[in-house]
Amino acid sequence: MPHRSSVAQPWRMQASRYRLAGNECVICKNVDFPPRRICSKCGGHDLVEKQLAGEGIIETFTILHTAPEGFEGTTPYAIGLIRLKEGPVITARLVGDFEKIGIGKSVKAVFRKVYEHGEGGLIHYGFKFEIVE
Ligand SMILES: [Zn+2]
């Protein structure tokens, strides 16, 4: 008997992440990502799905030399605070040459493996951001 629920759940939960979809408030046009049930700006409940371009600017970043469990072997790595074109600010991994990473640099979302549970284990995918040359 396969453990269907344990496999299906992360996929369903991350569906919005795959498509990098947030939502937009009908009233004030504020965009939230990840999607929320209530607008973070005006508290409105009338929200529609909004596909995000996956483009943004690095507001700040940090290079980490120790990794949480599951990320071992990937250090050092960079985490950035990215302001998306549509407005939301998100925290995400930055990939590529550290020397190219800088505040104010343009980035775009790329789909990458995030981490893996052991050998042959569950692989998680998600968006990372790379510098736009
Ligand atoms: Zn609103």
Tell me, yes or no, whether 46 and 68 share the same domain: no
**pLDDT top residue among 77 and 130:** 130
Q: How far is the CA of 17 from the centre of ligand 1 (A)?
A: 21
Tell me, yes or no, whether 42 and 1 share the same domain: yes
Confidence (pLDDT) at 41: 96
Q: How far is the CA of 95 from the centre of ligand 1 (A)?
A: 33
Whether the predicted pLDDT of 2 surpasses 50 = no
Confidence (pLDDT) at 122: 65
Tell me, yes or no, whether 66 and 128 share the same domain: yes
From the list 106, 103, 110, 116, the residue with the least C-alpha distance to 128 is: 110
From the list 86, 102, 37, 44, the residue with the least C-alpha distance to 94 is: 102
Average pLDDT in the chain: 82
**pLDDT top residue among 116 and 63:** 63
Q: With cut-offs at 50, 70 and 90, classify the pLDDT of residue 77.
A: confident
Q: What is the CATH number of the domain that holds 107?
A: 2.40.50
Q: How far is the CA of 33 from the centre of ligand 1 (A)?
A: 13
- Distance, in Å, from the CA atom of 14 to the CA atom of 33, rounded to the nearest integer, reads 12
Pick from 31-35, 39-43, 102-106, 115-119: least confident: 115-119
Q: How far is the CA of 91 from the centre of ligand 1 (A)?
A: 22
Q: How far is the CA of 27 from the centre of ligand 1 (A)?
A: 5
Which domain, by its residues, includes 91?
53-133
From the list 16, 40, 45, 19, the residue with the least C-alpha distance to 30 is: 40
Tell me, yes or no, whether 79 and 35 share the same domain: no
Tell me, yes or no, whether 13 and 38 share the same domain: yes
Whether the predicted pLDDT of 7 surpasses 60 = no
Domain count, the chain: 2
Q: How far is the CA of 83 from the centre of ligand 1 (A)?
A: 18
Whether the predicted pLDDT of 14 surpasses 70 = no
Angstrom CA distances, 46 to 21, 23, 84, stand at 16, 10, 22
**pLDDT top residue among 54 and 13:** 54
What is the average pLDDT across 4-29? 66
